[in-house]
Structure 1
Amino acid sequence: MTTASVDRRTVIKGSAAAAGTATIVAASGSTASGASAYFAHGVASGDPMPDRVVIWTRVTPTSTSTPGSGKGPRVWVDYEVATDQAFRRIVKKGRIATGASDDHTVKLDVTGLQPARWYFYRFSYKGRFSRVGRTRTAPAHSSTPSRVRLGMVSCSNLQAGWFSAYRHLAKRNDLHAIVHLGDYIYEYGPGQYGYGNDNVDIRKHAPAREMVSLADYRQRHAQYKRDADLQELHARYPFIVTWDDHEVTNDANKEGAENHDASEGSWLTRRARSHRAYDEWMPVRMSGTAALGDGTRLFRTLRFGQLAELSMLDLRTYRSTPVESPASGEASSSERSIAGAQQLAWLKKNLTSERAQWKLVGNPVMIAPVTFGTVPDALIDPINDVTKLLPEDGVAYNIDQWDGYTHDRRVLFEHIRDQGITDTVFLTGDIHSAWACELPFDPGSYPVVRENAGVEFVCTSVTSNNLKDILGVQRRTASVAVETILTAANPHIRHLNFDDHGYSVLDVTSARVQCDYYAIGDRAVKSTGLTWQASWQTLAGTQQLRRVHTPVGGA
């Protein structure tokens, strides 16, 4: 996602917690009292399957064994998995080694579990326990669950505000997992891309520079994992994650990035460092395993019985260099790809499969085509700051997303049409705004011919700036005119909100998929509240959207 210029004023407002050791105050109901300073970065789980789930923590065995330091002994950490929170019915336990070469992170795949079941897990070192985490396995592949309910989040920039969306999600008791669609961390140093038009640092990034080295990436991950609201959400639900660009650096592609130059060394070396830290610090299977350093493949499939299959995409590692001009016509070249040939073939195969009714696609950047009417000149730069949708000449391409790689989109949509695939839903992050879109095979004939490849739900950012923030105006003022222009020029965009931050909830049943959009208040206020904004759903077999006026329960 393209961001504002990094040449910004620094306004210090608060500070982030350092990435060293400290005693965590136990969250109510989450752990026994006195969670150890050995486990200052919390616990997490992810990638649930019917018989297994990944669990994670980070141990700090000595005061000098801080994240990214490369210091500290190799140690053994014990883990326990139980069916009850008091750990009277332990079903799995064991010991795993970690050390400075792994940044003292602990990640393993716990196998032999029962499907569609809640479990509790914890770690211990020298007799001191971590907080307790709760996780859930996926339904059996042969089962037909009545529903799957997922939280959706993206774009969580620590400098731009408090993670209140995570706090509110953690209060829900009706979800099965959290899908994080990218930009889990941000690479910038203090004073760069903060809160609002003046780039205020609500909290300052550590280390106090742009991430480049392996130590930098490790320290930044550690800082984010120290956030209390993120820790609470990780301890409550398993995560299913993918990366976008800021986990490495802005506008990344397979050959470089907008925010990388020769002074920062080799691009491939920098990317490898970021991928290594991601593997260490996230509860995710890379190249199919929880083992560290055995591969970097992130695209993968998670199934929820015969109800839904979720294909999580990686749209940064394999993408071609962006076109220099959206007016050049190169965006449609068959020589250019956003997904890469292997991943695109894998996705097409998944969509053709009849393993599950709903084909969900975790899609880091927007796939819906977007064209434009006349947008006032004064709004072009602010819109680009959020979405990179409009070049200054007004040509209608979003070159950082699927609009900049239209051959891949055309091949994918043609495959869906030719194979008669239905019930396809793209889940998207990246652009700090809420959208609900139909995906027409032919945008030029829509809505006279309302035939679609599927629908797309785009969740807004947790904290990263949106249009009102860049403009420095009140919500539902200047953005309303822009939304009106965009939806008029693109009738397949059924819902658009450029103003709010928060999260979404995706509720999947055999009859329909519904997306509820929730908004927090001011990101600068740690205790800010939450409101429901809108809900949209697609009925089975229709590939179309309709508005509904009630969210699913549980907020």
Structure 2
Amino acid sequence: MTYAQTSTPNHSDELRAAARHFGRRGFLTTAGAAAALALAVQLPAAGTASAAELDPRRITEDPFTLGVASGDPLPGSVVLWTRLAPRPFDPDSGLPRERVAVHWELAHDERFGRTVRRGKVTAHPEFQHSAHVEIDHLDPDRVYFYRFRAGAWTSPVGRTRTAPAPGARISGLKLAAVSCQAYHDGYFTAYGHLAQEDLDVVFHLGDYLYEYAVNATGGARAYTDRRLPAVFNRETLTLEDYRLRYALYKSDPDLRAAHAAHPFVVTWDDHETENNYAGDIPENDVPPEEFLLRRAAAYRAYWENQPLRRVQRPEGPDMRLYRRLRFGRLAQFDILDTRQYRSNQAYGDGWRVPGPESEDPSRTMTGATQERWLLDGWRDSRALWNVVPQQVVFAERRDVPSDAFKLSMDSWDGYPASRQRILDGAAAAGIENLMVLTGDVHVGYGLDIKADHRDPTSRTLGTEIVATSIASGKDGADRPANHADLTAANPHLKFYNGRRGYVTVALGRDSARADFRTVAAVTTPGAPVTTAGSFVTEAGNPGLTPV
């Protein structure tokens, strides 16, 4: 979604200098991009160990200001995360460029009376003193508690859980889907409520942060008791910019509470780098090598600040984020990346009349390799529910109920041949219970995925659950201005609400239930949460029915 810029960036000289130094040919390789990134930010190569280890007595302020998180649960494994930042709004986070020993502990109980495992990890300055701990050989389908220690300081306690064993016939699981949390548009109130939900896992579907400037009063938050530093009042371009922006977002107590309460599975959309970019093509007219340097910085900061495994660590401007998680025989989750490999948006992006350019069979949303990975995974799937957490609206979405309709070129409507290949692959694999989880559009949708979206009587192939934003779009409305047009134009659209919040989905052996949870306001803190709509879809009989 596009927002107006609130300032003009004027601090990208290091990007341009590095791009000129390497040139297009030298940059457009993984090695060249990594070297250019190091040159631009004056850092050693990724993973290079610093010479000195910090004396823990020199940590004189709480380094756990950004909280803790866990993610990507496997049957016997989970990844734990924290980042040391005694002064999170300083470029160096308040720590010298030295290695820091971080101790971690995992237990069965919140008071750590029954410790399961403990160990030590090194937080490197090259990765902004982030710590990623991958713990294996745990019990499947079990809740654990964890914490970190650095020097004399102990982190808040986090709660996580492992996935069920392969082949386990579990009776159900409950997930939440979230997306789009523009700090400058309001408080993350919905996360405070999400932290209190009884969930197995949370899927973040993108736009964890926004690249746009945040003014001294926090935009729509309109702070009167504090002022944010000027470092946030500019668009993110450099590695330092992105790192500081994650620190700003993770300063929100409700976001920290949600991370501490549940394991997160994260994937990005566009704003973690730049609005509506497509592969190596930026939104604005800048040299491709300069944009890829920006993308490298954004991807590196993303990995540093999320509970991701080592295998996801980026190399230059490339980062494999698509991956697969299984929860016994009940559900398989194929997490997609629809930004890094897509063709450029047709007709210059935006809402356009579809035509030969958008309908070109060669166009791809996922890239050939990821598409093949998805379809191969479906052929091997033994799960009852095959769920696809991804970014942009999958089902067709016409803007008006007439033959003069337009479609969003940034969504799957701008890549219909790519969408059809996905649906054909699902049919060939015998996938009966397809569910797509989506973010991006700052509203909640419940959609039936049809064989022919323009024929309401055509076969229903699956369901799409679109999570509204956490804050993006400010307070919103139960019935947005285009509600009548959109619902009339799309009979397969079963639910449409424009408030902020999240969605929970309870997957069972016989059916799945989606509850759209919303708050009335985010421009003021503390709004209560309500359920705006509830729907079920039966196993073996796709399609949403209101409860």
TM over 0.5, yes or no?
yes
Amino acid at match of 1:424: L
Q: Give 1:40-189 correspondences, 5 Å limit.
A: 40-60=65-85, 66-67=91-92, 71-172=96-197, 174-189=198-213
1:200: Cα distance to partner?
Answer: 6.7
The corresponding residue for 2:494 is 494
1:55: Cα distance to partner?
Answer: 0.2
- Name the CA shift for 1:99/1:62 in 2 (closer, same or farther; >3 Å): farther
Q: Secondary structure at the match of 1:525?
A: coil
Residue 433 of structure 2: which of 417, 420, 423 is its match?
423
The corresponding residue for 1:371 is 398
Is the 8 Å Cα contact of residues 314 and 320 (structure 2) preserved in structure 1?
Answer: no
Q: Secondary structure at the match of 2:195?
A: helix
1:223 aligns with 2:222: no
Q: Give 1:249-398 correspondences, 5 Å limit.
A: 249-258=274-283, 260-262=284-286, 266-285=290-309, 287=311, 296-324=319-347, 326-327=352-353, 328-373=355-400, 395-398=405-408
1:6: Cα distance to partner?
Answer: 2.1
The corresponding residue for 2:18 is none
Counterpart-to-counterpart distance in 1, 2:491 and 2:171: 33
The corresponding residue for 1:432 is 442
1:453: Cα distance to partner?
Answer: 2.3
Q: Secondary structure at the match of 2:137?
A: coil
Structure 2, gaps ≥5 residues long: 9-59
Q: Secondary structure at the match of 1:116?
A: coil
1:414 aligns with 2:424: yes
- Name the CA shift for 1:280/1:146 in 2 (closer, same or farther; >3 Å): same
Structure 1, gaps ≥5 residues long: 10-34, 376-392, 470-474, 549-555
- Name the CA shift for 1:525/1:349 in 2 (closer, same or farther; >3 Å): same
- Name the CA shift for 1:425/1:36 in 2 (closer, same or farther; >3 Å): farther
Is the 8 Å Cα contact of residues 332 and 381 (structure 2) preserved in structure 1?
Answer: no
Q: Secondary structure at the match of 1:422?
A: coil
Counterpart-to-counterpart distance in 1, 2:532 and 2:88: 46
Q: Secondary structure at the match of 1:39?
A: coil
Q: TM-score, normalised by structure 2?
A: 0.83
Is the 8 Å Cα contact of residues 296 and 316 (structure 2) preserved in structure 1?
Answer: no
Residue 459 of structure 1: which of 464, 467, 485 is its match?
467
Amino acid at match of 1:347: L
Q: RMSD value over aligned CA atoms?
A: 2.9
Q: Secondary structure at the match of 1:189?
A: coil
- Name the CA shift for 1:63/1:397 in 2 (closer, same or farther; >3 Å): closer
- CA displacement 1:212-255 (0-9 Å, x = unmatched): 00011111111111211111111111001100000001001112
- Name the CA shift for 1:507/1:434 in 2 (closer, same or farther; >3 Å): same
Amino acid at match of 1:158: Y
Amino acid at match of 1:484: A
1:5: Cα distance to partner?
Answer: 2.7
- Name the CA shift for 1:148/1:95 in 2 (closer, same or farther; >3 Å): same
- Determine what percentage of the aligned residue pairs are the same residue: 36
Amino acid at match of 1:119: Y
- Name the CA shift for 1:522/1:253 in 2 (closer, same or farther; >3 Å): same
Residue 232 of structure 1: which of 252, 257, 281 is its match?
257
Counterpart-to-counterpart distance in 1, 2:88 and 2:309: 30
Is the 8 Å Cα contact of residues 6 and 213 (structure 2) preserved in structure 1?
Answer: no
- Name the CA shift for 1:309/1:340 in 2 (closer, same or farther; >3 Å): same
User: Runs in 1 of length 4+ with deviation above 6 angstroms?
Assistant: 61-65, 199-203, 290-295
- Name the CA shift for 1:220/1:7 in 2 (closer, same or farther; >3 Å): closer
Q: Secondary structure at the match of 2:63?
A: helix
- Name the CA shift for 1:522/1:277 in 2 (closer, same or farther; >3 Å): same
Q: TM-score, normalised by structure 1?
A: 0.82
1:295: Cα distance to partner?
Answer: 6.5
Counterpart-to-counterpart distance in 1, 2:327 and 2:424: 26
